[in-house]
Structure 1
């Protein structure tokens, strides 16, 4: 059985101000923040971005922009 690689967001889905989770490198904890700039095209690793905080990495997922989802009870 062949395992499919995960599908990461494409650069076309990313825009400035979007809240994302990035991976800065192997062995480092993922961090989240707002996209400041999209740095590279899509490749098997995912799209590279620079967050407004200055951190750079590969986008792993887009986070919901707080407020649209169900609230805990």
Structure 2
């Protein structure tokens, strides 16, 4: 058993439509990235669920820097 604490994922309050994120769709599937279309719910121990503009649904693992190098939408 490990003494490591579980990773801290972004809270739903940090997530907004238009933000670029990396999500995990399920165990064993590769993470994908894209722009948030909708935040689907509150955080649970696994992280906040979102729907990307591409239609993919998953749990946010991290927020990506904006693609153009400018600030993320607020």
Normalised by the length of structure 1, the TM-score is 0.89
Separation (CA, whole Å) in 2 of partners of 1:26 and 1:42 = 18
In structure 2, the partner of 1:10 is: 11
Separation (CA, whole Å) in 2 of partners of 1:61 and 1:31 = 11
**CA RMSD after TM alignment:** 1.0
Ranges in structure 2 where 5+ consecutive residues have no aligned partner: none
Normalised by the length of structure 2, the TM-score is 0.88
In structure 2, the partner of 1:61 is: 62
Ranges in structure 1 where 5+ consecutive residues have no aligned partner: 69-73
Aligned pair count? 68
Q: CA deviation at 1:2?
A: 1.8
Correspondences of 1:1-73 after superposition (within 5 Å): 2-66=3-67, 67-68=69-70
In structure 2, the partner of 1:71 is: none
Q: Which has the larger radius of gyration?
A: 1
